[in-house]
Structures are given as structure tokens and as C-alpha cells.
A and B are shown apart, each in its own frame.
Chain A
């Protein structure tokens, strides 16, 4: 099956003073349609760099990037911007919502930028906010929302143009346990049939929600493990001594 997103032999070198820092040293990664892949590893392992290269927020030193089978690492900045608007959704740890706009307008904005009319964009945004449980918060500004609610708005914004793949960078990093759980559940259930999801995280609970966990260390993939589908195994995880 064709991947919705793929990186081949991705490498990235940063110049720091007189030395070259190898952030990524040849990483292969693919996200199949409908698949959720978690990328884990210690700070500095290269996981955020990888997400930036795959989303065109930064350019690789070497290697190839494919979005829905089309090679895109060499395209212009304008073409990358178009791709990000239409085919790639982003979710960040710090939400990055526009403070002056309502939740509804924050979500509708990318749809407007992608060429949808105002009424259509607002309708789609409103529907998504309802699906994410924010039907009573559509007119609130980010400052009036809790962290968990802001991240749900950001999820709606990432999904509004029905992207092929969503890239999430530590999506639960700023949230308490309960909000993180809600956000994670929404992220994984809002995938749709074919949408891929790639989550960079240091939170094992987020990683455990993925279908596959890729581990990076020092810019290399050191582990790639598939988890069995949820709910297919008993979870009798408590044992008492002397029973």
C-alpha cells in the first residue's frame, strides 16, 4: 500500500560554530493510510528535526520525502506551503492559535486559505468543533479556553482541510493527565479511514496509543515495533501477593 507520508535516508546536519552536528543520520520512515506512528526518543535524538523535514518546515541535507507517493523534497517553498495547507495538518505542543480570533475562526482560517468560501469554511469548522466536543465553545477566544480545549481547537484546525496526514509534535506536552487522555483519544479516533498520523512524543502513554512505535537515538532509528490492536487482549494487570 502506498504510504501517505514517507522519508527515505533522511539526513540533516546543522552547523554549530566550527563543527557539524548530525541531527539525523539516514532515517527511513513511512506512515501507511490510517496508521498512527509514534516517534519516541530522548531530547536531542532528532525526532523534532524528523517531523520538520517530513512537513517541509525544514530542508533535509540528504534524503527524500514523499507525500501520497509524490516526491516533494525538491519542490519550492511556495509548493510546500500549498501542500501544508491542503494535505498536511500540524499540531504543536504550544497550540499556536491566533489570540484575536474565536475558536471557530481559528479553525475556519486554513479552509479559507485553501480557497473555500466563508460559509462553507465556517460550516466545516463548526461541525469539527462539535465532533471534538466543543459545541459550546465555538465563539470563545483562546484565552477563554483551557489548555485541553485549546489543543482540541488546534486538532480541528489541523483536520479542517481533510489532510492525508497529520503531524503532531508533543501534542500533550502542555496538558494535565486527563486533558492529555482526551486529546489523545480524539487524535486517534479522528484519523478517518485513510488519514495517517505521526506523533512525536516523549510520553509513553501517547506512544502506547499508536499502532507503531519508532525509536530514535542519536539521529538513527534503533527500534520499530508494532503494537497489537487495542482491546484484542485481556488487560488483567493486577496480581496480588499470596492470593
Chain B
């Protein structure tokens, strides 16, 4: 959230609630709502690290603070935007379940694949049934990205099923 706020603040100074809603808007509802406490903790840390500075909003009696980017904050925002995100870190419990189920023989790997396939299809359905905003290109691209990930997942589940069904048939065939 940290760097995302820095990038948003590079456009213009804003208060915490504006940052939260703007970020949520960029995701077109695909991201769960951000936690208010987390938003303000993040801003406090950015201020402590001298990446943003804040002042009271003019004419506001509720103590609303406006945050603005420092030069240091701008450099960090640019650096973060230009660096690639880490690839292929699949934080995924399914891998663990499949690996353990297949290697220990405990549970039913095929049933697990079926259940996972159903979950992926359901997610794809939920994704495609979301109302589409008119010409908001970025949420539309994000939606395509999520859809392609789910399709890759389904394809991969097919591969898992094929391989587990015919255990090392090819290996046997290639042995002398």
C-alpha cells in the first residue's frame, strides 16, 4: 500500500480517505475494501520516513490531514514503478495439498483437482458477471489479467490430472 500511496500523492496532495477510495476505484471492486486503520498507519510510517509531509486541512475542525509527497518520496515512487514485480511466487495452498496428497497417498488428489477446478470456474463466472464500467480501461485490463490467470490455472489442473492418472507412463517408455 505504501508505494501505491506515494504514486497517488505524486499526482496531487490528498487526505487518507481520498487515497483509500482512489486506490479501490483503480481496482474496479476486485480488491477487498482497505482497512481504515491500515491506511492511517501506512501514512504515519511514510511521514516518519520523511517520504510524505502533512498539514491540517484548511477550515477543517475534525483534524483531517492533507498529505503531500517529499522529494525523497517522489524518488521512491519512481523507483518502485520502474522495477519489475517478483514473478512466479505462487503463494498457493493448493500446491502444497497436491504435492502432499500425491506423495503420501493420503486424501484423494483427483477429488482435490476436481474441487479446485470447480472453484476456479466459479471465480471465472463471478468475475465475468461483475457489471462492467463504461470506458474504464484499467479495471477492464485487470479483469482480463485475473481471467487469464484463472484460465492458466484450469489448464494446469488438466495437466495435473493427466499426469497423475498415468503415473510416469512416459518415463517407463523411455527406459531401456
**Chain B nearest CB, measured from A4 CB (Å):** 22
In the complex the two chains form, is A235's CB within 8 Å of B151's CB?
A: no
Given A225-B118, A243-B38, decide whether A238 and B30 contact each other with a Cβ distance below 8 A.
Answer: yes
Bound-state CA distance A231–B130 (Å) is 7
For residue B8, CB closer than 8 A to chain A, the reply is no
* B154 neighbours in A (Cβ, 8 Å): 204
Give A181 to B144 CA distance when docked, in angstroms. 12
B32 within 8 A of A: yes
Contact bitstring A47-85, B, C-beta under 8 A = 1, else 0: 000000000000000000000000000000000000000
Would you give the 0/1 interface string for A146-184, flagging 1 where the beta carbon is closer than 8 Å to chain B?
000000000000000000000000000000010001000
Judge whether B158 and A205 touch: CB under 8 Å: no
Assuming the contacts A204-B151, A241-B91, asked whether A235 and B126 have C-beta atoms less than 8 A apart, the reply is yes
What are the residues of chain A within 8 A of B150 when measuring CB–CB? 204
> Interface 1/0s, chain B 129-158, versus A by CB < 8 A?
110000000000010101100110011001
Structural contact, B32 and A236, CB atoms closer than 8 A: yes
Across the interface, do B128 and A208 meet the contact criterion of CB distance under 8 Å?
yes
Q: Which residue of A lies closest to B115 (CB)?
A: A225
Q: Considering only CB atoms, which chain A residue lies closest to B126 in the complex?
A: A235
Q: Taking CB as reference atom, which chain A residue is nearest B158?
A: A42
Counting CB contacts under 8 A, is A100 at the interface? no
The contact string, 1 if C-beta is below 8 Å from chain B, for chain A 210-233, is: 000100000000010101101101
> Contact: A236 with B29, CB < 8 Å?
yes
CB B21 to nearest CB in A, in angstroms, measures: 16
Residues A243 and B1 in contact, CB atoms below 8 Å apart? yes
A177 to B147, CA, bound (A): 11
B127 contacts chain A at the CB level, 8 A cutoff:
yes
Q: Secondary structure of the B side of the interface?
A: helix
| A151 to B144 Cα, complex, angstroms | 22
Contact B121 A236, beta carbon cutoff 8 Å: no
Which A residue's beta carbon lies closest to that of B123?
Answer: A237
Residue among A177, A207, A238, A241 facing the most chain B CB atoms (10 A cut-off): A238
User: Please, which residues of chain A bring their CB within 8 A of the CB of B151?
Assistant: 204-205
Interface residues on B, range: 20 to 34
DSSP class of A's interface residues: helix, strand, loop or mixed? loop
Most buried by B among A205, A231, A239: A205
- Shortest distance in angstroms between B33's beta carbon and chain A's nearest beta carbon? 8
Q: Considering residues B129, B144, B158, which has the most beta carbons from chain A within 10 angstroms of its beta carbon?
A: B129
Give residues of chain B (1-53) contacting chain A, Cβ–Cβ below 8 Å: 1, 27, 29-32, 34, 38
Give the distance to chain A from B138, nearest Cβ to Cβ, in Å. Answer: 12
Q: Does the CB pair B126–A230 fall under 8 Å? A: yes
Cβ of A227 and Cβ of B29 under 8 Å apart? no
A 193-205 to B, binary, CB cutoff 8 A, 1 in contact else 0:
0000000000011
A235 to B122 alpha-carbon distance, docked (Å): 10
Asked if A89 is at the interface (CB within 8 A of a chain B CB), the reply is: no
Asked if B114 is at the interface (CB within 8 A of a chain A CB), the reply is yes
Are A237 and B30 in touch, CB under 8 angstroms?
Answer: yes
Supply 9 A–B pairs (Cβ within 8 Å), ascending by A. Answer: A208-B128, A209-B125, A225-B117, A228-B122, A230-B125, A234-B126, A236-B32, A237-B126, A238-B30
Beyond the given pairs A227-B118, A237-B146, 5 more chain A to chain B contacts, judged by CB atoms under 8 angstroms and listed by A's residue number, are: A204-B120, A209-B128, A213-B121, A238-B30, A238-B142
**Which 8 residue pairs of A and B lie closest in terms of their CB atoms, listed nearest first?**
A230-B129, A208-B124, A235-B126, A208-B125, A238-B30, A236-B32, A204-B154, A238-B31
Which B residues fall within an 8 A CB radius of A? 1, 27, 29-32, 34, 38, 89, 91, 114, 117-118, 120-130, 142, 144, 146-147, 150-151, 154-155, 158
